[in-house]
Amino acid sequence: MHNSLASRLLVRLLLLFALVTVISIVILTKWGFDELTSQTDKDSPPNPSETNGYTYALSSRDAEIERLKHEVLTLRAQLVLVQSNRSNNGLPVRLPLQSSGYSPSSATASSNSNNNNSNSHLHQSDTTIASLTHHYDCSSYIRKQVGAAEILHGLPLNNEYEMIPFNHFTFTRVYPIDLGLGKRVVEKPIGYRRRDLLEAVNKALESLNRNHTARARAKGLAATELGRYTLDDFVEGIYRTEPTTGSQYELYFQSIKHQTNVVRKALIMRPFAPLQTVQLSEVAASPIIHVILPLSGRLRSFRSFVQRLNKLADQRLHLVVVYFGEAGLKEAQLIAGGAKRVQLVALNETFSRAKALRLGAEHIPPQAAKAMQDALLFMCDVDIVFTAKFLERCRWNTAPGKKVYYPVVFSLYNPHVVYTLQGKILPSEEEQLVISRDTGFWRDFGYGMTCQYRSDFLQIRGFDEEIVGWGGEDVMLYRKYVRSKIKIVRATDPGIFHRWHTKICTGSLSADQYRACIRSRALNEASHAQLGFLAFQDEIAAAMAHS
């Protein structure tokens, strides 16, 4: 019985292999791989109707081949199971085949030990089938991603905003289309970007040299006679990332050793894998947020800050104000005394934001810290406006010993330039909190606003308190976290704004601080277009007068 069943399975397996082989030969004879890849190099666009029919034929062929492969894998796994059963002492064969005619009732006379062994063989069969099927499922998904990407052919888009441009690069330079944090139009590839580009170049070299060896054998030559490509032969390339399919690389190579004019091009793609669920968890209860506010003068802004704080629906807040100097101290104490959950710490010293934030973290009420075993800090400035939704994100994106939150704040332009000089009525402060390119910009170079637990702040040894005055201390703290194993959540946050205010850059600042202050002042004033209108307002007025 076992021999006949194995024979039938083997015959079916051979027939399926033959069928797949015949289909592949017919298709390759009709189109060919070289013809498929060479179509993208033609200058004339293909006929849409022919392209649609061709695409449909390819998809139908791929679907049929995948179905046959899956069935072949299933039969192969079952054949392996039959052969393994034959080596045992007459164990019954249980196959998950509808057409096998096998009934579960035929195994009722078997002993318990045989049943256990049979179940174990079934489990092995299922595992074998699952692993083989998973391999081909992954291969099929990768081919699907490559086929869906705009790499071998163009894809119709709705408008120019959907077009994803490439970035040009060499081994030593990258010319990014998105300038990023450094705002550099050319930069050295470092970190993840360098590893990514180097892997793509090495993959291209591997493929080129494999193809090169095959061509050498076809000509009856040794591979060394034609020469192999090396990293020195890489000329340049372009790359981009499509969000749904993966990263694409077009790389160009020219042999230096043989001084040939032949340029070889390699198309490489890093396809994205299917989405995977990494973790599901429940957000912990909302802890109290301790807002630490360094202050020196700025009483009008301080009063507005406290008023906005009292209006927030989220009442699980505690404000610690660290005030420097004696000027305005009494008025500041009156403002703080008239509000709930506000504590003021006075220092008769030169203003130091680093020291203020450290002292604020130390002056959190003991009962609050004891109840939570730790304290969530929000290091803030008096010109910051935030919403209750931001406070939720402050809690969500922090965890002691695991992660800290550095929101990218939306910085508002000078309202006098945005509204008054444009002939518009100046809206209220609340109505000015609008995110648009004419009202402000994402302050991606600022690291002063941060949510983190006090234990992390103390463990990483906080700020450099030798920095006196404005700027610099926040970058130093951020770099400490960058070099640590704590995760940094850096993201744009539509619930936190930096209000425009007059910025004075004094000569007492260091050279680096002064340049940073001037840069911040210029960026805060208005958009590029609005500054252009101000610079050419005389020409604009003259043109309007002649029209």
Last residue of a domain, one of 250, 282, 314: 282
| Residues 381 and 239 grouped into a single domain | no
Residues 535/525, Cβ–Cβ less than 8 Å: no
Please, which pLDDT band fits residue 299 given cuts at 50, 70 and 90?
very high
Between residues 198 and 509, the one the model is more confident about = 198
pLDDT at position 70, please? 62
Structure-token pair, residue 268: 């490489």
Please, which pLDDT band fits residue 233 given cuts at 50, 70 and 90?
very high
pLDDT at 107 > cutoff 90: no
Between residues 470 and 162, the one the model is more confident about = 162
pLDDT at position 8, please? 76
Report how many domains make up the chain.
Answer: 2
Domain that holds residue 228: 190-282
pLDDT at position 480, please? 93
| Residues 341 and 270 grouped into a single domain | no
**In-domain check, residue 224:** yes
pLDDT at 518 > cutoff 50: yes
**In-domain check, residue 319:** yes
pLDDT at position 158, please? 87
Last residue of a domain, one of 253, 282, 311: 282
**In-domain check, residue 96:** no
pLDDT at position 179, please? 76
pLDDT at 133 > cutoff 90: no
Sign of CA dihedral 48, 49, 51, 52: positive
Residues 409, 390: Cα–Cα separation, whole Å: 11
**In-domain check, residue 409:** yes
pLDDT at 16 > cutoff 70: yes
Instruction: Identify the weakest region by mean pLDDT among 58-72, 152-166, 278-292.
Output: 58-72
Please, which pLDDT band fits residue 34 given cuts at 50, 70 and 90?
very low
**pLDDT average, residue stretch 212-233:** 73
pLDDT at position 295, please? 95
Last residue of a domain, one of 282, 300, 329: 282
Please, which pLDDT band fits residue 127 given cuts at 50, 70 and 90?
low
pLDDT at 43 > cutoff 50: no
Q: Tokens 């050319």 identify what position?
A: 186
In 60-146, DSSP assigns E strands to none
pLDDT at position 28, please? 55
| Residues 472 and 325 grouped into a single domain | yes
| Residues 387 and 328 grouped into a single domain | yes
Between residues 454 and 512, the one the model is more confident about = 454
**In-domain check, residue 525:** no
| Residues 349 and 496 grouped into a single domain | yes
